Structure 1
Amino acid sequence: MMNLVAGVIGLGAMGGGMAASLRRAGYPVQVFDVRGEMAAAFAQDGGTACASPAELGAACDVVVSVVINAAQTETVLFGPGGCAAAMRPGSVFVMCSTVDPNGSMALEKRLNDLGLLYIDAPISGGAAKAASGEMTMMTSGAPAAYAKAEAVLHAMAAKVYKLGDAAGAGSKVKVINQLLAGVHIAAAAEAMALGLREGVDPAALYEVITHSAGNSWMFENRMAHVLAGDYTPLSAVDIFVKDLGIVLDMARASKFPLPLSSTAHQMFMQASTAGFAKEDDSAVIKIFPGIELPKTP
């Protein structure tokens, strides 16, 4: 399948690494980003920078979209210079954003009506794993879409879970993953904040917890940012305002109670409105009063 041309739209923390993984695997890679300099920088080491999603779509057999949300996905496909009208019949659009599962199902139908194939493929693992090709993809789609694009997926991810033969299942699993991720970050921040309030040395607390039963991946990863006083966004506060909002919307449709998710969502919204929207999601700890956070060395 190496004769396939792959394209990546969105060269942020995840998309840039995914495009590099495809290039490393030997695929001809077309890239587009609204920040033209990002696409140009990628192409310096191999690949082609495109001026629009339409230019990319016309050149590619498989288009991988790694934009922030459903609105940006809509623009990439159907906005001015969108790729949907330019893609050849039978080519595959791989949607990697975290979106409402019903929206993903609707997108599959719209693209199928245009003669295009679709894979619902949200991602997880962070920028480092995206760059090394070791991330996780939670996918669902028609067998014909997998037949054409599955090798491309495996070039970008160590784990490609096939969760159903139609869109929606992949997004549902990603939404549940984001429930856990958001709640874990909020709980980790609350625990570290309590330790600071009680005068516990934060580095000692971190050392003990990361070697004890109370540890979580999110505590270990995000509280390291707090200890460093570094809130450079790898995943921003507003990402979890959005993602936990999707979690709650999905559950609300079936009247399913999510008390922990609701509380975590309120915490991230409080952090966002307090001015920390674009900071790393660990900045949710800044909502707690009466504590002194570690400073950047």
Structure 2
Amino acid sequence: MASHKEGTGYTTAVAVIGLGSMGFGMAKSMKRAGLEVVGYDITQSAVERFLAEGGRVAATLTDAVEGADIVVSVVVNAQQTEAVLFGPDGIARAMKPGSVFISSATMDPAIARSLAERFEALGLHYLDAPISGGAARAAKGELTIMASGSPEAFAAARPALDVMAARVYELGDAAGIGAAFKMINQLLAGVHIAAACEAISFAAKQGLDLQKVYEVITASAGNSWMFENRVPHVLAGDYTPLSAIEIFVKDLGIVQDMARAERYPVPLVAAALQMYLAASGAGMGRDDDSSLARLYAQLSGAKLPSKG
């Protein structure tokens, strides 16, 4: 595989499938580092945004992966990942020998293992590599990547991993391990967001100064990364989706399915999932996940700040 080495003239060719908030940032980071990046997305606005940054885009999936050493898939879920690989326009049979597919979608570990087995049977490499860190860190090349796969998959993916992430955790030699780590992260993230939204809305119901609540809690033992990150959205009354409610409808649903299969109780996940479902049902599914605070406010009559 070609590698990016200063002065050699060789540049890794990378295809990024999915140019949403995360994929766009990841593509931008790799392009900035000197990798040869081609993007693909079914949404015209995403394509235009990448073009405006000087990026190259492909008209079809198979065009995107032609000649690529690395394909980074940043789609929403397992179903989309399977369609990218094995659907009518799937890329599995279009990728060149020895290339690697980096799967960043959050999914059930069993599905990750199944996709990897089918893909690797074609003589290609599959790296199970879910991501964490948000769009801002993606754009800076500072993601956390929870990866598992064969040593060959890691070696083939290294040029992209090195410039997309501040931390790459190598968690095992088989697909599915990275996915399982990501689901533990999502369990905590989803519950912490729900707790943060419950707390700030309860503070509003008490008539407290919410800016002062934020100041005090972020300096106290009750703080969490999610409280510190999401409550400012509530204080600004701005629910522009940086991470949507529907993400946690999906992810906590996966956690609950995994737990049920293992006969493992997850009562906090179950309670949080019901709140995300209620927010989605109330029309907030595509809004920021801090919209749980709005749901609590609607249920209780608490008054939250308005935008502006």
Structure 2 length-normalised TM: 0.94
Secondary structure of 2:21's match?
Answer: coil
| Compared CA separation, residues 131 and 199, structure 1 to 2 (3 A) | same
In 2, Cα distance between the equivalents of 1:43 and 1:277?
29
Count of paired positions? 297
Rounded to whole Å, the distance in 2 between the matches of 1:41 and 1:233 is 17
Q: Mind listing any 5+ residue stretches in structure 2 that lack a counterpart?
A: 5-10
Q: State whether residues 54 and 83 of structure 1, in contact with CA within 8 Å, keep that contact through their aligned partners in structure 2.
A: yes
Partner of 2:215: 207
Q: Select the residue among 249, 254, 260 that pairs with 1:252.
A: 260
Q: 1:170 aligns with which of 167, 178, 185?
A: 178
Alignment equivalent of 1:87, drawn from 95, 104, 122? 95
Alignment check: 8 A CA contact 2:18 2:74 kept? yes
Structure 2 residue aligned with 1:196, among 197, 204, 209? 204
Shift of 1:39: 2.7
Give 2:194's aligned residue: 186
Report deviation, 1:152.
1.2
Corresponding residue SS for 2:169: strand
- Deviation at 1:45? 4.0
On the 8 A contact 1:241/1:268 being kept in 2, the answer is yes
Match of 1:127 among 135, 149, 172: 135
Aligned mate of 1:77, from 48, 61, 85: 85
Task: Decide which of 40, 53, 67 is 1:59's aligned counterpart.
Answer: 67
Structure 2 residue aligned with 1:148: 156
> Structure 1: where are the runs of 5+ without partners?
none
Give 2:302's aligned amino acid. Answer: I
Quick one: distance in 2 between partners of 1:270 and 1:160? 35
The yes-or-no answer on 1:4 pairing with 2:41 is: no
> Residue 54 of structure 1 contacts residue 85 of structure 1 at CA under 8 Å; is this kept in 2?
no
Query: One-letter code of the match for 2:112?
Result: S
Moved more, 187-196 or 143-152: 143-152
Q: Does 1:296 align with 2:307?
A: yes
1:279 Cα offset (Å):
0.5
Corresponding residue number in structure 2 for 1:22:
30
TM-score (norm 1): 0.97
Q: Distance in 2 between matches of 1:240 and 1:224?
A: 19
Q: Which string of whole-angstrom CA distances, capped at 9 and with x for unpartnered residues, describes residues 85-143 of structure 1?
A: 21112210000010000000001001011111100000000110000001100000011
Other-structure match for 1:225? 233
- SS of residue matched to 1:59: coil
State the secondary structure of the residue aligned to 2:34: coil
Post-superposition offset of 1:40 = 4.3
Give the Cα separation in 2 of the matches to 1:175 and 1:17.
22
1:209–1:277: structure 2 CA closer, same or farther, 3 Å change rule?
same
Equivalent of 1:284, from 278, 292, 299? 292
- Determine helix, strand or coil for the equivalent of 2:304: coil
Q: Is the 8 A contact 1:65 1:95 kept in 2?
A: yes
CA RMSD of aligned residues (A): 1.2
Q: Is the 8 A contact 1:28 1:47 kept in 2?
A: no
The 8 Å contact of residues 12 and 159 in structure 2, kept in 1 or not, is answered as no
Deviates more, 1:259-268 or 1:52-61: 52-61
